[in-house]
Structure formats: structure tokens, C-alpha cells
Amino acid sequence: MVVAAIAALAGWGIGALDLDGTPLDNTAGLVFGVVLAVAGMVVGGAGVLQFRRAATTVNPHLIHQASNVVYSGVYRFTRNPMYLGLAAVVGAWCFALGTVVGCAVAVGIFVVSINRFQIMPEERMLSDKFGVVYTQYCDNTRRWL
């Protein structure tokens, strides 16, 4: 959540610099932002529900407490629906502000940071814990989309 907030603030700051030249039409940006935010919340929420049903932790700081590899539901399409949902919400915020450049920067910051500092360490730990079951899942399902 902290990384998402920092990325969103960066997007807002880029937007304030007016690097886009002509900002998005306010109505179009708001509508697209709302649609993207709702989609992100649905995808992220579906990921949380799947983890709850599988009785495994949703807390990324307690990954060592993971009890199952979840590969059904939304996890058939993405290994990280909760992070994907957050990325969509960050992008939605920037579109609502009317900044395409800010959106690209904000989502880029979020994705690169989460990949490097959260997802890659999680993947190593899950691979060590669940072995071939997890590595086969990774071979068959994309990290993001």
C-alpha cells in the first residue's frame, strides 16, 4: 500500500508539472479512472477472497505463513491479482487527474518496485516452500497479465 501511495503521489506530481501538454478531457479521464478503479478493486478483491477460501495468508509480510498454492479463480490468469488491482487503482487515480504521462510514470514506479522488492522475494520463498507445485504454476501463469 505504501508503494502504491508513493507511486500515486509521483503521478500527481508529474501531472502538476503539465508534461502532457494537453491534459485528458476531465470527463473522459474521470469516467475511465472510475472504470479502471472498479476493475482493479474487483480483481484485487477476488484475489483476497481466493486466499481466504484457501485459508492462506494475504499479508505479504507473512509470506512464510502461506499454507497453499492458490491457482484457481482469478489466479488462473495472473499470479498477482492483488498487486495488479493496486496498479490499476494507481493508474485510475492518474487518469482521473487527467495525466497520461503521470499515469505511465506512476504505474511504472509501482510495477518495478513491487516486482523487485516484493514479488521476486515472495517467489523465491514460495518456490522453496512448495517446490515443483509452485514452479509449475509459475511456468503456466503470468506474473501480471
Q: What is the pLDDT of residues 81-113, one digit of tens each?
A: 999 999 999 999 988 888 888 899 999 999 999
Q: Is 131 a domain residue?
A: yes
> 4 with 90: CB under 8 angstroms?
yes
Q: Does 104 map to a domain? A: yes
Query: Total domain count for the chain?
Result: 1
Residue span of the structural domain in which 73 resides? 26-57+67-140
Is the residue at 11 inside a domain? Answer: no
In a domain, 21, yes or no: no
Ranges of residues in the chain whose predicted pLDDT is under 50:
none
Residue 87 inside a domain? The answer is: yes
Task: Report CA-CA distances (Å) from 22 to 18, 25, 94, 103.
Answer: 8, 9, 14, 14
- 87: CB partners within 8 A, 6+ apart: 4, 40, 107, 110, 111, 114, 144
Q: Is residue 92 part of a domain?
A: yes
Q: How many CA atoms lie within 13 A of 25 on its CB side?
A: 4
